[in-house]
Amino acid sequence: MMNDSPLTEDEIIEQRRKRRLEISKKHQAEGSKPTPSQASTTDHLASKITKSISKTDAAKLENEQPSLDNQHSNGENDSILAKPDSNEPFSEKASMEDDEDEEDDMFADSPLPTHKKRKTDKKPSTVKRSLAGMQDTWDDVEGYYKVILMEELDSRYLIQSNLGKGMFSSVVNVMDQMTKASFAIKIIRNNEVMYKAGMKEVSILERLQAADPEGRRHIVRYDRYFMHKNHLCMVFEMLSLNLRDILKKFGRNVGLNIKAIQVYAYQMFTALHLLEECNVIHADIKPDNMLVNEKRNILKICDLGSASDAAENEITPYLVSRFYRAPEISKSLTLF
């Protein structure tokens, strides 16, 4: 019995089923109910079957146990048992803790690649090196700063959106992390000539601000300047659309209503009066350089990048915007 191959569980179940069928057929053939003696005989047979099955199971376990022990001792089953454990979170966590406690062995035959990869990904120095490698790519070929959304400027301003690009600079919308207020930052191109022109604009803005400390004369409010990656950055109050966009949006084919024209004209002349008092020539007044607020009831003149002191220039009919010519200049009319 011990030399025969052990029965599988399915075979044992099949034997039980067949024996029960034989017993039930036997009782059906007799055509009568089992007597107490027959019932006891059936119980006796069932007990015998159970004992024989239990003996078979015991023999099976005895035969299988040495083979499992031999496999375990020979190391054949170690990899199979280790595979499920390697996918469990607990074993992964334990291996991470072991990796952290162990020192790197430079003479090891097969270092763990996952251990090295995990350490490389979490090194702050890797990020610093990648940022250091980008120092030459902050600007495009024309010297404009490559705007990156959510970048921090001057450890204070967070870039929210790109507002546009002009001849000398690009403009971004930022949030001041100290006051949570919105500002517009003008980023001058990375160029020595542009830098000098930008510092000249700063000096003119500071002069106008000193003449209008309360900001009632309709020149865009200047806050401060700073340097960022060799770019001069000027901080201004945040306004909305320029006058050209207002005309396209609200006055296409019909123009603005007369009340809005009166309000905007009065505010524009107020700003020009301040420029005259400070002896400043704007030299680039056009609808693009007039900004309105969100409520569309306040207009301010902006972009003094071409402005200069009146004493520095000779007044001629051509000292005007490069992109716009007033009708009286185009027709060479003398009004004064």
Please give the full DSSP string across 306-321, using - where no structure is assigned. Answer: T-EEGGGS---TT-S-
By percentage, how much of the chain surpasses pLDDT 70? 60
Q: Which of 169, 165, 298, 299 is nearest to 234 (CA)?
A: 169
pLDDT at 50: 54
Spatial distance between the Cα atoms of 336 and 333, rounded to a whole number of angstroms: 9
pLDDT at 334: 58
Q: Which of 69-83, 176-190, 268-282 has the weakest average pLDDT?
A: 69-83
pLDDT at 86: 41
Mean pLDDT within 273-281: 94
**What residues contact residue 146 under an 8 Å CB cut-off, 6+ apart?**
137, 138, 139, 140
Integer CA distances (angstroms), 18 to 33, 109, 246, in order: 21, 60, 95
Three-state SS at 48: helix
Tell me the pLDDT band of 154, cut-offs 50, 70 and 90: very high
pLDDT at 130: 43
Is residue 186 part of an annotated ligand binding site?
yes
**pLDDT by residue (tens digit) across 205-247?**
999 999 999 999 999 999 999 999 999 999 999 999 999 999 9
pLDDT at 27: 77
- Higher local confidence (pLDDT), 114 or 298: 298
Where along the chain do its domains lie?
9-30+38-72
Known catalytic residue: 140? no
**Catalytically annotated residue among 69, 121, 154, 284:** 284
Spatial distance between the Cα atoms of 155 and 152, rounded to a whole number of angstroms: 6
CA pseudo-torsion sign 204, 208, 213, 217: negative
- Higher local confidence (pLDDT), 325 or 22: 22
Tell me the pLDDT band of 312, cut-offs 50, 70 and 90: confident
Mean pLDDT within 261-287: 93
Please give the full DSSP string across 248-283, using - where no structure is assigned. Answer: HHH-TTT---HHHHHHHHHHHHHHHHHHHHTTEE--
pLDDT at 196: 94
**pLDDT by residue (tens digit) across 19-30?**
888 888 887 777
**What residues contact residue 56 under an 8 Å CB cut-off, 6+ apart?**
6, 7, 12
pLDDT at 64: 47
Tell me the pLDDT band of 46, cut-offs 50, 70 and 90: low
pLDDT greater than 90 at residue 149: yes
Mean pLDDT within 194-207: 95
| pTM of the complete model | 0.57
- The mean of the pLDDT values for the chain is 74
Read off the amino acid at residue 223. Answer: D
pLDDT at 299: 97
Spatial distance between the Cα atoms of 48 and 68, rounded to a whole number of angstroms: 30
Mean pLDDT within 263-290: 93
Tell me the pLDDT band of 284, cut-offs 50, 70 and 90: confident
